[in-house]
Chain A
């Protein structure tokens, strides 16, 4: 079955330390890939997306993600975390334009930032 997996439910990181959030997908073809961030009670803000081309994608707020076809992964990274990065992060995929806006989301990773 097609799925998106975020293996880490919670991650705690110290302010200034690096952060990596994992995302794996299970699809027959390479989908379009997204990372979103959600603050409590808020909607989703797009951090970055990958459709094709360079497998290292730069996003907003200093985030980047790397697409690895061989591992069916799209992991999100940030070199130095700020307290304001505490939020929930969602990986999402869509099977190309033909699938419209039918995104499939992972279960999310909640990031806590220690001072």
Chain B
């Protein structure tokens, strides 16, 4: 079975641009969460979506948004990119909202903002 897949793996943008990151969860998983990992730090929670609804939001500005599609895949959008948005963006999927016993992470998208 395929794990959590993220695309693209690497991305370079300039300040002020917009970016869309994509995540496909493990088959049968209905929850997708997004994390931002700045170099040298632990991941920080951005969003959780379950059954296509936002069920949790971390301390991130409104420039960050996400959505989940009927097939449970998800997109993370970031507007008006800042240098500080450069990070590894991780997606995680689980079967249910609180299904932490089966929470799996993808390999991430490395975003560089120049």
Q: Which positions in A face B, CB cutoff 8 Å? A: 4, 32, 34, 36, 41-46, 49, 51, 90, 92, 94, 96-108
Known: A102-B48, A103-B45. A51 touches B101 (CB 8 A): yes
Instruction: Return chain A residues, CB-CB under 8 Å to B100.
Output: 32, 34, 49, 51, 94, 97, 101, 103
Contact A101 B42 (CB under 8 A): no
Contact B42 A108 (CB under 8 A): yes
Given contacts A41-B108, A99-B98, 15 further A-B contacts (CB under 8 A): A4-B42, A36-B105, A41-B88, A43-B4, A43-B90, A43-B106, A44-B90, A100-B48, A100-B55, A101-B33, A101-B98, A101-B103, A103-B35, A103-B43, A105-B44
Interface centre among B88, B98, B110 (most CB of A within 10 A): B98
Instruction: Return chain B residues, CB-CB under 8 Å to A44.
Output: 43, 90, 92, 105
CA–CA, A32 and B94, complex, Å:
15
CA–CA, A43 and B91, complex, Å:
9
Instruction: Return chain B residues, CB-CB under 8 Å to A36.
Output: 105
**B8 at interface, CB cutoff 8 A:** no
- For B41, give its contact among A43, A99, A108 (CB under 8 Å): A108
Closest to B90 in A: A43
CA–CA, A25 and B105, complex, Å:
22
CA–CA, A102 and B56, complex, Å:
7
A-B contact pairs, 8 of them (CB 8 A): A49-B101, A90-B42, A90-B43, A99-B56, A100-B98, A101-B100, A102-B56, A105-B43
